[in-house]
Amino acid sequence: MALPLVRCASIKKTEAQTSQTSARTPSEEWERFEAACGKAQEQLTALYEKALNEVGEDNAAIFEIHQMMLEDDDYLDAIKSIIDTQNATAEYAAATTGENFSAAFAAMEDEYMRARAADVKDISRRVVNVLTGVDDAQMIDDKPAILVADDLTPSETVQLDKSKLLGFITRHGSSNSHTAILARTMNIPALVGVDFQDDWDGKLAVIDGYNHCVYIEPAQELLSAMEEKRSNDLKQEALLQNLKKKPNVTLDGKEIKVYANIGNAGDVGLVLQNDAQGIGLFRSEFLYLDSQDYPSEDQQFVIYKRVVETMAGKKVIIRTLDIGADKQADYFELDKEENPALGFRAIRICLTRKEVFKTQLRAILRASAFGTVSIMFPMIISVREVRDAKEILEECKAELTERGVAFGNVEVGIMIETPAAVVMADELAEEVEFFSLGTNDLTQYTLAIDRQNPKLDHFYDAHHPAVLRMIKHTIEAGHRHGCWVGICGELGADQTLTETFLRYGVDELSVSPASLLPIRKMIRSLDLSKEAQV
């Protein structure tokens, strides 16, 4: 899978140089250490607060843990002992103690605890850096770099500072995992399933997203070639910027809507920057995943309203809660399932836990008073579900009317992402005003292939004719009953299929903000009056 950019950066920083023997007295060294510890605590407080604001308490907790580790008696005693008995510098004592403690964690049976070895090293490194005057080596406030990690969860991926993250490499995960999809949304080159070496830390690296490989300390020749590739990429991107404000019309005059997919309110900037005509998929579950408890109607309303107002009258299609399967929030207390993808998720949760659903629907309805809002229900398999969901929506409208709260006209649509919905498309189209094809799940369910399993990448064919026929059938069925039909899954951004979809008659493509301009360029280059080239 080609990724859009090629960039190079050193992976983190080189270790600070520490000299072992001190010219100072042990008590002077201990004072140096305590002062540095205080500084490190301040840095951690700042990091904690930043994280708290941006990503919520759960994700910020790690910095609090680091602070507590820095106060740990055993850790401090060990450092003091090295300073006292070996006449060592504070930085040597801190670095050595960090190594010793992290080795103890690394030897533990439990995988989670083994991973804590990195935290102990981290806090020691932070103190050593303060002592030696090296800039903080933490990814989160360091110079731009490629991040190398065993694995990143979706919420970790989201919380990374996009301006500092030039790319990431993870050992686990597959190219179809949620994390990889998010990376594409953020336009960040990502390599997953790479068995990296620990000694990559601090080395120069180049990710070649086109060939899905990484070069560590590349030779000058290769580096020049990569730099040229990157500069071509940037030129291409500049060209695409020229497309802004131009209509999305094929050479023979067929116009198509190009909308953007977003995962949180912060992405709206990218949507406007890339000149999208609307938001075709606002994944509302991020509101729930970033939260410690069910987000209230008011909390949700504020976020939806911000997006709707920012889009200033352009369409915003909000997909109701699609949680479950690979997206979990603890407070939902969902049971572990043998087959989560086929389990209690999305609309199934909403129709069961009606109050959770109604809270969200009221928040969306209230936001609709500030612009153009559509509501989209995910994971539909039957007409009954759509009717039930619509009935609940009507209840919510009645409640708001009773409360004297304003709301606008909302268009109602459904995701088509199950084979059942495709087969039932004619009947479903009678119930709603639009369809949006969720090609990721539709592909997974049609081919019976798990997106999260890297072993199946070999069997996975994104262009499988069964999937393409399903898409065609859905578009035709929708049109027979006056529904407009869009595609909001990954396939919508696949330029090799754009012509096929346009020939099927698709009305809208909704893609990640980074894919907006390339797709628009592709649309403007097509001529549907000519025979299709196979």
Partner 1 sequence: MKQFTYTITDPVGIHARPAGLLAKFAKTLDSTITIAKADGSKSAEARKLMALMGLGIKTGETVTVTIEGGNEEANAAAMEEFCKENM
| Cβ proximity to partner 1, 64 vs 141, nearer residue | 64
Question: How is residue 169 written in tokens?
Answer: 């490499």
Contact with partner 1 (CB under 8 A): which of 16, 65, 106, 356? 65
Q: Which amino acid is at 211?
A: N
Q: What is the DSSP letter of 334?
A: P
| Cβ proximity to partner 1, 138 vs 261, nearer residue | 138
**Least CB distance to partner 1 at residue 61 (A):** 5
Contact with partner 1 (CB under 8 A): which of 1, 16, 55, 62? 62
Residues in contact with partner 1, total (CB under 8 A)? Answer: 22
Catalytic positions are 178, 488
User: Of 36, 67, 63, 41, which is closest to residue 52 (Cα–Cα)?
Assistant: 63
Interacting stretch for partner 1, rule CB under 8 A, among 64-72, 249-257, 399-407, 498-506?
64-72
Does residue 72 interact with partner 1 by CB under 8 A?
yes
Residue 19 vs residues 16, 90, 95, 271, 372: alpha-carbon distances, Å: 10, 10, 11, 51, 64
| Cβ proximity to partner 1, 115 vs 468, nearer residue | 115
412 close to 390: Cβ distance less than 8 angstroms: yes
- Draw the binding track, 18-57, toward partner 1 (x: CB under 8 A; -: no contact): ----------------------------------------
Contact with partner 1 (CB under 8 A): which of 2, 21, 74, 532? 74
* Per-residue 3-state assignment (H helix, E strand, C coil) for 79-123: HHHHHHHHCECHHHHHHHHHHHHHHHHHCCCCHHHHHCHHHHHHH
| Residue 459 burial (10 A CB sphere; 0-12, 13-18, 19+) | exposed
210 close to 191: Cβ distance less than 8 angstroms: no
**Least CB distance to partner 1 at residue 39 (A):** 20
| Cβ proximity to partner 1, 15 vs 64, nearer residue | 64
Question: How is residue 76 written in tokens?
Answer: 């401090």
Rg (CA), the chain: 26
| Cβ proximity to partner 1, 74 vs 198, nearer residue | 74
Angle (CA) 529-530-533 rounded to 5° is 135
User: Of 467, 451, 478, 477, which is closest to residue 500 (Cα–Cα)?
Assistant: 467
- Draw the binding track, 231-250, toward partner 1 (x: CB under 8 A; -: no contact): --------------------
Contact with partner 1 (CB under 8 A): which of 35, 46, 68, 312? 68
Give the position of tokens 């949680």: 323
Which residues between 88 and 127 bind partner 1 (CB under 8 A)? 101, 104-105, 108-110, 112-113, 116, 119-120
Positions touching partner 1 (CB under 8 A) are 61-62, 64-65, 68-69, 71-75, 101, 104-105, 108-110, 112-113, 116, 119-120
